[in-house]
A = this chain, B = another copy of it.
Amino acid sequence: MLTSKVIEQLVGALGKEKVFTDKEDLAAYSFDATADMPKVVPEVVVTPTSTREAQEIVKLAAQHKVPLYTRGSGTNLSGGTIPINKGIVMVMVKMNKILEVDAENLTATVQPGVIIQDLNDAVAGHGLIYPPDPGTIATATMGGSVAECSGGLRGLKYGVTKDYVMGLEVILANGKIMHCGGKTVKNVTAYDMVKLFVGSEGTLGVITEIIVKLIPAPEARKSALAIFRSLDDAAKAITGIINNKVIPATLEIMDNVTIKTVENYAHVGLPTDAEAILLIEVDGIPEVVEKEAEAVIKVCKENNGQLKIAQTAAERDEIWQARRDALPALAQLSPTTVLEDATVPRSKIPEMLKALRDIAQKYQLTIGTFGHAGDGNLHPSIITDETDIEEMKRVHQAVDDIFAVALELGGTLSGEHGIGIAKQKYLEQEFGEAGIEALRAIKRALDPENLLNPGKIVQP
């Protein structure tokens, strides 16, 4: 329980305009973008504007042993920012400066509150991009994205957040500041603390500065939509493309439930009787794009795919709008969308899709599946209603089954959403008892008092 003395000290350190204790203010930080999660109201919300202020807050939390929940825009999908032990919520959105764009070394240095899209806008003039592109690119912060290790549509070719974070400034649980990594492409000095902090969901330290790698923007790109009557054909096309040594920038799939829902929602002319559609984009220098597009078209045709190739920017936008509509379309069917990100090796996608269909039937649920087919990262989305207690019981059983199948197929619990509180109960199925003990040891080592985002990933 947080005392009034702590609040006084926070006000002393930050000024009262950065310390919030009104009920309405606190309520806004009791949840995040994750469905089917508990809502917990914090005791105080603070908005530091500098590393020094953030450090003062961490020190006060450590001194008074108060839980500290650091967050950005709260777009995560694993309950990662919910302050389940109450205490302090520290919102980083006001630390939002792009400190440097270093075009010569292909790096940018940002504060954690910078919105991902804003970074991309800032580097576009140099002909550069920051590739990680989660669906929430226009609202998610860099800090949250690094803490969660966001993925996105371009993961197959370009990798995910961890592949782009080169250096970090971190406030440790004891209030001390650590710098790790930097602007060098290669760095093997001691343990890879940068990679340990990326995806650690705020449980090991507070990220206050981030150096990321940038890459040259692709000169050209080409998008296509391929319609398949059979799931098997779609799956064969996916592996066929990769086997032809083409790594598309994006290779997305939508199943029949998702296709029908998107068409009903947006009327973009999708064939509602198709078993699956693939949305594919290749990019690079124009010669490569032509050659790779030809290979993609050939493979899709060989597997009975019917193709629509975008000839104009407007047609390209239309294809990708259909993909962007997938989640909102599914979401408007019912009050609650339970969105998972179980991930399997690419070759196991047909088996995973069939298993998802069986699970939907077994528990009499509507599951729409879409996602990143190229990297085996599917998003089965259960359309339900949180207030329907009986149905939610079936939803939870279905989720249990989904993760069991993903692990059985050599997959993982999370391709890009993290563990948070949503997937904790499955963690031992993937890591085993010895692995869990190792994770707990790491948490205890860096946060011995369990003050940083406590209750997430593992209990120390």
Contact = CB atoms under 8 A, between A and B. Distances in A.
A438 interface: yes
Nearest to A443: B191
A376 B104 CA distance: 12
Nearest to A204: B191
Given A105-B347, A285-B288, A186 B435 contact: no
Interface in A407-431: 410-419, 423, 427, 430-431
Nearest to A343: B184
B345 A191 contact: no
Given A291-B287, A376-B185, A442-B445, A434 B176 contact: yes
Contacts of A104: 239, 242-243, 346-347
Contact of A155 (B163, B186, B216, B345): B186
Contact of A416 (B155, B156, B186, B195): B186
Contacts of A431: 178-180, 189-190
Oligomeric state, in number of copies?
2
Nearest to A411: B184
A42 B442 CA distance: 31
A189 B412 contact: yes
Contacts of A344: 184
Contact of A183 (B106, B204, B247, B410): B410
A223 interface: no
Nearest to A200: B191
A3 to B, nearest CB: 28
B191 A196 contact: yes
A72 to B, nearest CB: 16
A132 to B, nearest CB: 11
Interface residues of A, number: 91
A432 interface: yes
A376 B346 contact: no
B179 A457 contact: no
Contact of A185 (B105, B127, B156): B156
Contacts of A414: 187-189
A51 to B, nearest CB: 13
A319 interface: no
Nearest to A193: B438
Interface string A182-222: 11111111111101101110001000000000001001000
A417 to B, nearest CB: 7
A232 interface: no
Contacts of A185: 155-156, 346, 374-377
Contact of A127 (B219, B245, B411): B245
Contact of A441 (B284, B343, B377, B445): B445
A216 B295 CA distance: 15
A162 interface: yes
Contact of A245 (B163, B216, B245): B216
A377 B183 CA distance: 12
Interface in A216-251: 216, 219, 239, 242-243, 245, 247
Given A187-B412, A347-B105, A445-B445, A179 B288 contact: no
Contacts of A219: 245
B288 A186 contact: no
B195 A162 contact: yes
A437 B291 CA distance: 52
B413 A189 contact: yes
A188 B199 contact: yes
**Top 9 A-B pairs ranked by shortest CB distance?**
A176-B434, A445-B445, A287-B287, A195-B195, A186-B415, A216-B245, A185-B375, A441-B445, A183-B345
21 contacts: A104-B346, A106-B346, A163-B163, A172-B438, A177-B434, A178-B438, A179-B432, A182-B411, A184-B377, A184-B415, A186-B375, A186-B376, A189-B430, A190-B419, A190-B439, A191-B196, A192-B196, A193-B439, A285-B287, A285-B291, A287-B291
